[in-house]
Amino acid sequence: MNYFLRKLGTSLLNLIAVVVTIFIVLHMMPGDIIEPMAREEASRLGITYEEAYERVADRYNYNPQEPIYQQLVRYVKGLLRGDLGTSMLNPKNTVVSILSVALPWTIFVVSISLIISFILGMQLGALMAIRKRGIINNSITFYVTIVSAIPSYIIAIILSIIFVYQLRLFPKSGVYSIDVTPGFNMPFILSVLHYSVLPITTYVITSTGGWILNMKGSSVHVLGSDYVFAAQARGIPEKIIMRRYMKKNAMIPMITILAMAFGGMIGGAPLIEGQFQYLGMGAYLAKALGERDFILYQGLLLCISISVILANLVADLLYSKLDPRIRLE
């Protein structure tokens, strides 16, 4: 319990630091997006500029002319009420409503991608550690070298050109077809899977290489341990050593990396989701930044940060359960 409380306290401190840092950095950026909106509203309603400015600032809970500490207090009060603000360029949509639409699709794609890439990376990484020479090792090394050198958005563009525009096997945009009825029915499920194939494939291609290298390094370290040599001396079959000794222990450090990867990928790669026009967190993040919608951008960054902090907390708790040495400490 003490271990859990310490980790929870650390996570809360990290969250406070993230909230303050994101707020200060974004609010120190040059420009005043409220000004043109206030001028437009003053002209449309026939009121003074000062009155229009105050109305717009109250509407978005954001007034760049206030001292920074007053802005921070205003923002924190909104957070405590569950109010992340309203999108500046889409006044009818709150940040929470946008998150409720974008976050599930990103979690769906990221979860499937992470599971597939993790399983492939663990198997191929362990295989490279066992078979240090030969065509299999060379082929995997070649793959890792290539995908590590190519940016993820380039792979997304290549897949888009081939499968969307040349072969026309997948749609250009969206998360499901407008011809199906959303719900727990087979046409909708198949449509969702069809639209998510290319984003998932891109994530898997770009992230599997990292898992392979991490698992290979961890496996090589485990193979040099005394208990592995002892098992070999006792005549235990190699398959059992690899399955029960090497893979099990080599995967323990991967748990922390897995949780961190999930938290980081919640943000999505804006260029990947943007390329396929898949309406997840990454697409909205890129749109908010490009259109200087600071309120939406701030809310999305906060959501991503919370995801990373929670993922790290879960990783610490799981690690303490998987590794007896952590429990002893």
Maximum average pLDDT range among 140-144, 219-223, 310-314: 140-144
Asked if 271 and 155 touch (Cβ cutoff 8 Å), the reply is no
Helix axes 186-223, 252-265, angle to 10 degrees: 140
Under the banding of pLDDT at 50, 70 and 90, the label for residue 149 is confident
Amino acid 268: pLDDT: 61
Q: Which residue has the tokens 């939406």?
A: 296
**pLDDT exceeds 50 at position 80:** yes
pLDDT in tens, 198-211: 999 999 998 999 89
Amino acid 201: pLDDT: 95
Find the mean pLDDT for residues 224-232: 81
pLDDT in tens, 254-273: 877 887 787 767 766 677 88
How far is Cα 118 from Cα 130, in angstroms, rounded to an integer?
18
- Report field, pTM of the whole predicted structure over 0.85: no
270/216: higher pLDDT: 216
Half-sphere exposure of 14 (CA within 13 A, CB side): 15
**pLDDT exceeds 90 at position 117:** yes
**pLDDT exceeds 60 at position 329:** no
List the single range of 179-188, 228-237, 272-281, 320-329 with lowest mean pLDDT: 320-329
pLDDT in tens, 28-63: 777 677 888 888 888 888 888 888 888 888 877 777
**pLDDT exceeds 80 at position 154:** yes
> In Å, how far are 8, 161, 162, 199 from 114, measured between CA atoms?
25, 24, 24, 12
Give Cβ neighbours of residue 8 (< 8 Å, ≥ 6 apart).
Answer: 313
312/168: higher pLDDT: 168
Q: Which residue has the tokens 């007896």?
A: 324
Q: Enumerate the H helices of the chain as residue ranges.
A: 2-27, 34-45, 49-60, 68-80, 95-130, 135-149, 152-159, 186-223, 226-233, 238-240, 248-250, 252-265, 270-276, 281-290, 294-322, 324-328
Find the mean pLDDT for residues 181-195: 92
